[in-house]
Amino acid sequence: MKIDRLVSMIMILLDRERISAQELADMFEVSLRTIYRDIDSINMAGIPVRSVSGVGGGFEILQAYKVDRKVFSTADLSAILMGLSSLSSMIRGNELVNVLAKVKSFIPADRARDIELKASQIHVDLSPWMGNRNIQPYLQMIQTALQESRLLSFEYADRYGNKMARKAEPYQLVLKNSHWYWQGFCHKRTDFRLFKLSRTSNLQIQETCFTPREYPKPQLDFADVWATMQTKIKLRIHQSVMDRVLDYCTDDNFSPEGDEHYIVRFPFIENEYHYNILFSFGDKCECLEPLHIRAEMKRRIHNIATLYNR
């Protein structure tokens, strides 16, 4: 894992006056090119590392830059521990355990209590309350495949539940709106695809390795696109679902009606996803306007009632 390697390299540079690129490459079992990229990352983080050429040359931290175990401030160490602890709630492994131990080794005894308190002020738990329990082991499998550039085989269900066997080269794990996705080059489609982890089943790491390709970052921000597609509809909701409705719009769209209800200007697109959102509020939500969406809600409710009257 890159963060593990970077922290280890910083610790080595703190403890040793100079070390060669080849020695670092051998130590971490990576290429010289990777070591040079890592040194660039350390420099960008604000720790000035210079390269000394010739016999006995290598990398060293500038002598004029006073670096010791206090290189990280209390806020820095708190932020690092907070992020790593949150990630370890879903992706477990020796790498995260090791890097957490190494980061904690930077903490002076006289600051340990303060840093522990600050690190615990925000807690991010990415594990689900309930539901698909394949997610955590699948995350670990994809992480292993990413590190070793190994092919993944799996079955993938479309939105209608139809499953199809696939093979793909994994390139990135993505957490978006509490859902995990992974980007891969699909051999069946011969193109990059973003797969939802909950739709992935029978995931297996293959022995076959692949040569990584240049890959595009997945498009994850559709706010501008949705803004052109959305219209505001008028809902009447009970106060008991207000907290859930607030997941989709801000409180300036709410106007009180009586003691227990609100009128809401709700952002809406006429598709299955948004109709299902309205139905998720059950009988605590009524669409008032526009009339054609209200009529469509009535039609769908009638179909559901017919299903249960059989």
pLDDT digits (tens, 9 = 90+) for 203-245: 999 999 999 998 888 777 666 666 778 899 999 999 999 999 9
Examine the domain organization and report whether 174 and 246 are in the same domain.
Answer: no
Tell me how far apart the alpha carbons of residues 42 and 49 are, in angstroms, rounded to a whole number.
Answer: 7
Nearest in space to 153 (alpha carbons), one of 304, 162, 163: 163
Q: Identify whether 129 is part of a domain.
A: no
The answer to whether residue 264 is domain-embedded is: yes
- Domain hosting 13: range is 2-61
pTM summary value? 0.55
263 and 303 co-located in one domain? yes
User: Which residue, 36, 61, 86, sits at the end of a domain?
Assistant: 61
Residues 267 and 231 in one domain: yes
Look at residue 243 and tell me if it is in a domain: yes
In this structure, the answer to whether residues 229 and 302 fall within a common structural domain is yes
Structurally, the chain folds into a number of domains equal to: 4
- Residue 281, H or E segment: none
Same domain, 178 and 231: no
Q: Is residue 66 part of a domain?
A: no
Residue 147 resides in a domain? yes
Compute the residue count for the chain.
Answer: 310
Higher pLDDT, 252 or 129: 252
- Residue that terminates a domain, selected from 87, 119, 151: 119
Q: Which residue has the higher pLDDT, 8 or 306?
A: 306
Residue 69, in any domain of the structure: no
According to the model, what pLDDT value does residue 48 have?
Answer: 84
How much is the average pLDDT of 119-142?
Answer: 72
DSSP state string for 243-285: HHHTTTS-GGGEEEETTTEEEEEEEE-SSHHHHHHHHHTGGGE
Amino acid at 188: K
Co-location of 14 and 47 in the same domain: yes
Domain boundary among 153, 175, 209: 209
Per-residue pLDDT tens over the stretch 248-275: 888 899 999 999 999 999 999 999 989 9
Q: Do the domain assignments include residue 57?
A: yes
147 and 115 both lie in a single domain: no
Q: Judge if 51 and 102 occupy the same domain.
A: no
Task: Check if the beta carbon of residue 184 is closer than 8 Å to that of residue 195.
Answer: yes
Q: Which CATH number do you get for residue 15?
A: 1.10.10.10
- Evaluate if residue 90 carries a pLDDT over 60: no
Claim to verify: residue 243 and residue 299 sit in the same structural domain = yes
Any domain includes 125: no
Alpha helices in the chain (DSSP H): 2-15, 21-28, 32-44, 74-88, 94-104, 112-119, 135-148, 223-229, 242-245, 272-280, 291-309
Q: Count CB neighbours of 197 within 10 A.
A: 20
Greater pLDDT, 44 or 133: 44
At residue 134's C-alpha, the angle toward residues 128 and 135, to 5°, is: 50
pLDDT value at position 277? 94
Q: Residue 204's domain is classified under what CATH number?
A: 2.30.30
Res 101: pLDDT? 61
Residue 267 CB coordination number (10 Å): 17
